[in-house]
Structure 1
Amino acid sequence: GVLVVDDIAKTQTPYARISTLTTIAELVYSHYCISHLSGTNFEIRGFNGAALVNIQPILLKEVVKSSEWEASMMDKSIRYYHLYRPQEPNPMPPKLTLDWGIDTVHVETPDLKGKLADRLKSIGEVQWGLSRIKEHISDLLAASASLDKRREVNQSDYKLLIKLLAPLRVESLVTDKRELETQRYLASNQLAILTQFVTYGSFTLRQLARDYHLSQSQCYKIMSRYTKEWEIVSKTPTTYAPTDELRDRLKGVKL
């Protein structure tokens, strides 16, 4: 099964959001969770499924800064940064009929050797520790094979995952921390600007001001902080594009 949280913002306090995300990460990874709070006790055991949680950047920023992020969430989750700004209303979900294939327990564990495996590991390094890289990539490869009703992983699974997981690299562009063991920060301005570029290509100052409901002068001041990453390529209207340095960093992302 799949547990879907359409918008974590509906969980109304920072404490509740962080607790919810920590619990979901533990539930999916360990297949159980136990909570004993004042007046409330519950246990979930034998959960074998996935969870999808949508979170907006302004809320992700507070979650990333929490100690629970590094301690409980990072290694047990996949962060996929959807950077395309919607242009049209989409009131209805897509109509899909899925064939779930065979159970993943029937797929042989891949050995994770060779150039394709190394490429997958380099993507995983952005989000997970070394042991979790092997664990998560093995599970994802097995899932790909099982959807195709195969009992062995082959090169097509590696190639598919390299394509699907490439956007995970975005995290290396938009998160940072100042010490080895301390809280992490989401660079929300860089994430917002990157969203503009992914949506429009080279984007104008007017588009940036409109989408974030700011004055053009304020947006110009913000963009002036990031001249190493973004340069003005036209003045009529004022238009921004990535610098050569940023383009080099974006090559492996393939958004």
Structure 2
Amino acid sequence: MFELNDKKAVVTGGGSGIGKAIATLFAERGAIVHVVDLNEAASAGVVEEIRAQGGQAVGHACDVSRQADVKALMERIGPIDILVNNAGIAHIGKADDTSEEDFDRVMSVNVKGVYNCLHAAIPQLRANGGGVIVNMASVAAWVGIKERFAYSTGKGAVMAMTLSVAKDYLQDGIRCNSISPGRVHTPFVDGFLARNYPGREAEMFAQLSKTQPIGRMATPAEVAALALYLCSNEAAFITGTDYPIDGGFITLNT
């Protein structure tokens, strides 16, 4: 079960965190993984790790907010079976203290970046007779989270795009779902704590973990396992659905 033998998969934001975990797991399950990241060195490092474990992977440096670059990349990669739209950035702020520059930056990556990848990849999925798309949304698309105005706006758009794509391309054999993680322990979290709470990292990490009803953050591997299921043949009857993986955050915190 849950094998991806010889499936060609594109994972954006694959150089670290959740994207790295997805790329690595997909390769373990037999996929040929194209690891796309803005950071070329990070992408290359993941590819090296995958190959060292006997997997197949190719690295690509690409800014997903630039449509021409994304289109050229997808054309080079050719027909694909799987697209995971994972690339994204975070932002902290409310509506009245989020600058136009910051708002545009979040939208350019978290919304336009997903659109650009969909726009370029759907013809390649169609050329392959269908396939699977997984978009990374967030619990912030479901519930209000303090000081996450731009981020929540973008992830709400990702969830809406998921529903639209699932309906529009059903007859092309393309399934599209999204995943909404709660807090996940990634390098971003560690960097955020180091920058904002120097000397108090362990204390603040414990506080953030307790905001999840289950009492801890998710691991990237747990999110990757859900992505694997949604991209496998075992999920062939699933499309147009968002899957929270949040330790009870949505239902038990309200």
Q: TM-score, normalised by structure 1?
A: 0.29
- Structure of larger gyration radius: 1
Q: TM-score, normalised by structure 2?
A: 0.29
Structure of greater relative contact order (alpha carbons < 8 Å, 6+ residues apart): 2
